Each structure stands twice: as structure tokens, then as C-alpha cells.
């Protein structure tokens, strides 16, 4: 069993680590503590560097011009890219290029021309509209937005919630029920242009993320041509589900990156901070917190790399990805919490990135499927069959 990183992986990690420390962190020091974007000129310059490093568009498949990085290396890079203040939700401020919406790689040629390629060129933005007020974790039952066949098109009615970036999107990958009798086999995926009549961003929902927010959407008699059906009619559930499994790995990786950076801050701080005549590092209560952090970080890291390695080998990785996501998001929260405790009053201030991580890390136990749903997924795999 090979647990060592390859020479190449070590070099890529060292390179991204240096990039975060030397290029991102100094710019971040001059930004608002809640900022999620760089100044346009800095963004452009760093995108240029990312391109010359050959790491731009990391999640774009090789045949569409991506660098073709294997999933383990990709995960290692994700862990590094999150190691700064905005790193959890804006890793490296997006200078390595957005993944875009992976579902579009499965689109037909006409749809690729209209949506995928413009998205890869940075001309169009998309959003992913799955979750509804009736629930997000069980899309088969929760999707109540309907699409009814009407001539050569469909008519959509319904609502969505917690949709990131819909107010700035040009199109929305939208899931709607096309057959009320068939449960998960009655859901279809549509590409909805946000300027189609009947599409409305009803309101912005503010969350623990300061500068980012979710939106509520409304579809009111929205007419959409059949040419905008992504994949097959009534086969949309698989598209949603595949995305959910895959996303758990980078989601876990982001939590680990932040935890690693927080732990580094803690170790540095306890060596210098004096209380009652000696440094914090000499206090057993503090030592144990540092050790518990390390256990949390290493456990999360191995579980996540294992999930990535299985996915890379083409093996089933559903349980592993669920476990990685569950453990990394919960461990990340504990680590940030302990590091805040170690920093005392300073840990509460916006001078340090801890309070931002603390808020944002809390979302990670709910986003991309809450811990309870991850357990449900694992239980199904371990025990077998479907049960309630």
C-alpha cells in the first residue's frame, strides 16, 4: 500500500503552497476581511500566473483543454488552495479558473456551443438549481417544480431556494418533475436562460457567509424549448446525484485546508504567547488541543485522499466520499473552534481569519448534504437495500 505522495505530487503541492503564501496572502492582507474577490488587475495577473503554471481550469476535462490532473493530485491541490482567509468558499479567489458546471460536459453539441464553451471562455455564468423549500437532501421526493409538455416545449412552474449565484447567472441548470408518478425516474434536467420570461430571482437569502448569499427562485409559466433539455427526459436524477457524490471530495478538501492553516497559526501562537510567566505551549490544556487538531486533520486527510483514489481508479466511492465529507466538515469545525479558543480575544476579531472560517465552516456540516444524510448514504451502502 503506497501512502507516500509521488515526486510530482510533492512538487505540485509545494508550488501551490508557495503560490498561496506568496501571491494570495499578501493581497488578502489589504482586502476587506469579508471580501471574496480580488481587484480586477490582481485577478488578471494571477490568472496569467496560474495559466503559466499549467494549472488553469483544473476541473475542465483534458479533452476540453483542462490540464488533466488526476483526482488525488486535484484533491491535494484543493487542500492547498483553501489555506487562506477566503479559502473555504473562494479558494485562491478563483484565479485557477472555475470548474463551471460539470453537467454540461454531458450536453449535446448544440448545448455545448450555447452554454459549455461560453462558460469555459468566461463569457457565461451558470448556477445549479436543485434544492427546493420542501428539502434538498432527498431530491427525488422534494422536487415539486413541474415541467409540463406543451407543443415543442415545456412549461415550468415552481420555486427553488438556497441557489448560489442565480442573480448573476446567465443560465440555471434546473431540475423539475416531468412525471409525478415515477419518483426519481420522473425528474428532468433543463438549462433555463435567466432572461426567459417567467424566471425570477425572488429574493436574496443572507447566510453565515458575509459577502456571498443564496437566492430564492421562482418559475412562473416559464416556457422552455425541448432543445434545452439536458440529457434525457425523466433521467435528470442521475445527473443531480452524480454531481452530489463527486462534489463531496473537494468540499472535504476545502475544510482540511482551512484546518491545516488554522493549526499552523495555533502552533506559531502558542510558542510565543505568554500567560502567567510562561508560553502557552507549556500548558497541557493547550497541548491537548493541538494534538486533537492534528488527529482531526490527519483523519480527514486520509479519508478524503482514499475517496479520491477510489474515484480515480473508477471504483465505487459513494461511502468513502460521504465519510470524507462528514468527517472533514465536522473536524474542520472543531479545529477552527479550538484555534479560536487558543487565540482568546484575538480569535474573535476580524484581524484574524478565524471568525470568518468559524462562520463559514458551520455551513459545511449542512451544505452538499448534511452530516445526517451522509450517514444515511453510508448506512444504505453498509446494510444494503433501501429502508426508511
Extract long-range pairs of 101-106: CB within 8 Å, 24+ residues apart.
101/126, 101/128, 101/173, 102/59, 102/243, 102/246, 103/128, 103/173, 103/189, 103/230, 103/239, 103/243, 104/173, 104/191, 104/230, 105/61, 105/64, 106/230, 106/231, 106/239
Which of 38, 55, 187, 280 binds other proteins (CB under 8 A)? It is: 55
Span of 40-48, 52-60, 161-169, 175-183 interacting with other proteins by CB under 8 A = 52-60
Residue 123 binds other proteins (CB under 8 A): no
Span of 49-57, 144-152, 216-224, 366-374 interacting with other proteins by CB under 8 A = 49-57
Residue 287 binds other proteins (CB under 8 A): no
What one-character DSSP code corresponds to residue 132? B
| Crossing angle for the helix pair 354-364 and 236-272, to the nearest 10 degrees | 150
* Contacts of 198 by beta carbon, 8 Å cutoff, 6+ apart: 156, 219, 220, 221, 222, 223
Distance CA 194, CA 224 (A): 11
Which of 1, 52, 63, 272 binds other proteins (CB under 8 A)? It is: 52
Least distance to other proteins, CB of residue 209, Å: 30
Span of 11-19, 155-163, 227-235, 302-310 interacting with other proteins by CB under 8 A = 11-19
Beta carbon nearer to other proteins, 57 or 369: 57
Residue 18 binds other proteins (CB under 8 A): yes
Residue 67 binds other proteins (CB under 8 A): yes
What one-character DSSP code corresponds to residue 233? T
- 228 contacts 103 by C-beta, under 8 angstroms: no
Residue 62 binds other proteins (CB under 8 A): no
* Contacts of 121 by beta carbon, 8 Å cutoff, 6+ apart: none
Least distance to other proteins, CB of residue 16, Å: 9
Span of 50-58, 88-96, 247-255, 276-284 interacting with other proteins by CB under 8 A = 50-58
Span of 47-55, 129-137, 319-327, 362-370 interacting with other proteins by CB under 8 A = 47-55
Q: Say which of 80, 320, 355, 368 is annotated catalytic.
A: 368
Annotated catalytic residue 368: yes
Beta carbon nearer to other proteins, 167 or 312: 312
What's the burial of 357, exposed, middle or buried (CB within 10 Å: 0-12/13-18/19+)?
buried
Residue 174, phi then psi, degrees to nearest 5 = -120, 135
Which of 48, 54, 133, 135 binds other proteins (CB under 8 A)? It is: 54
Residue 53 binds other proteins (CB under 8 A): yes
Least distance to other proteins, CB of residue 11, Å: 5
Beta carbon nearer to other proteins, 84 or 325: 84
DSSP for 20-62 reads IIIIIHHHHTTS-TT-----HHHHHHHHHHHHHTT-TTTTS-G
- Give the residues lining the site for other proteins (CB under 8 A): 7-8, 10-12, 14-15, 18-19, 49, 52-55, 67, 69
Q: Which residues are catalytic?
A: 368
Amino acid at each position: 500500500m503506497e501512502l507516500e505522495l509521488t515526486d510530482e505530487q510533492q512538487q505540485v503541492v509545494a508550488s501551490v503552497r508557495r503560490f498561496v503564501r506568496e501571491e494570495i496572502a499578501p493581497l488578502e492582507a489589504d482586502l476587506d476581511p469579508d471580501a471574496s474577490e480580488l481587484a480586477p488587475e490582481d485577478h488578471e495577473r494571477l490568472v496569467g500566473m496560474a495559466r503559466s503554471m499549467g494549472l488553469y481550469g483544473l476541473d475542465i476535462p483534458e479533452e476540453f483543454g483542462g490540464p488533466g490532473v488526476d483526482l488525488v493530485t486535484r484533491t491535494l491541490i484543493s487542500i492547498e488552495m483553501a489555506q487562506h482567509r477566503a479559502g473555504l468558499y473562494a479558494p485562491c479567489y478563483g484565479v485557477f479558473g472555475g470548474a463551471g458546471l460539470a453537467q454540461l460536459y454531458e450536453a449535446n453539441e448544440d448545448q455545448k456551443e450555447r452554454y459549455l464553451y461560453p462558460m469555459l471562455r468566461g463569457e457565461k455564468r451558470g448556477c445549479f438549481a436543485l434544492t427546493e423549500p420542501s428539502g434538498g437532501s432527498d431530491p427525488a421526493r422534494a422536487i415539486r417544480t413541474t415541467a409540463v409538455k406543451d407543443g415543442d416545449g415545456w412549461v415550468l412552474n415552481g420555486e427553488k431556494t438556497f441557489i448560489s449565484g442565480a442573480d448573476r447567472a446567465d443560465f440555471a441548470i434546473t431540475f423539475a418533475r416531468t412525471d409525478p408518478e415515477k419518483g426519481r425516474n420522473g425528474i428532468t434536467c433543463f438549462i433555463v436562460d435567466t432572461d426567459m420570461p417567467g424566471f425570477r430571482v425572488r429574493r436574496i437569502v443572507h447566510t453565515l457567509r458575509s459577502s456571498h448569499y443564496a437566492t430564492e427562485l421562482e418559475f412562473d409559466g416559464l416556457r422552455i424549448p425541448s432543445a434545452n433539455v439536458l440529457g434525457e427526459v425523466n433521467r435528470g436524477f442521475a445527473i443531480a446525484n452524480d454531481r452530489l457524490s463527486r462534489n463531496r471530495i473537494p468540499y472535504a478538501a476545502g475544510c482540511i485546508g482551512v484546518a491545516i492553516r488554522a493549526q499552523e497559526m495555533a502552533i506559531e501562537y502558542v510558542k510565543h504567547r505568554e500567560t502567567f510567566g510562561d508560553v502557552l505551549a507549556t500548558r497541557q490544556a493547550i497541548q491537548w488541543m493541538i494534538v486533537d487538531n492534528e488527529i482531526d486533520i490527519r483523519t480527514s486527510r486520509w479519508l478524503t485522499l482514499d475517496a479520491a483514489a477510489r474515484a480515480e481508479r473508477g471504483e465505487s466511492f459513494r461511502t468513502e466520499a460521504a465519510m470524507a465529507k462528514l468527517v472533514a466538515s465536522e473536524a474542520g469545525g472543531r479545529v477552527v473552534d479550538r484555534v479560536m479558543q487558543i487565540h482568546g480575544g484575538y480569535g474573535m476579531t476580524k484581524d484574524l481569519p478565524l471568525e470568518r472560517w468559524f462562520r463559514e465552516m458551520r455551513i459545511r456540516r449542512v451544505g452538499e448534504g448534511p452530516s445526517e444524510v451522509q450517514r444515511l448514504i453510508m448506512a444504505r451502502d453498509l446494510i444494503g437495500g433501501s429502508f426508511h
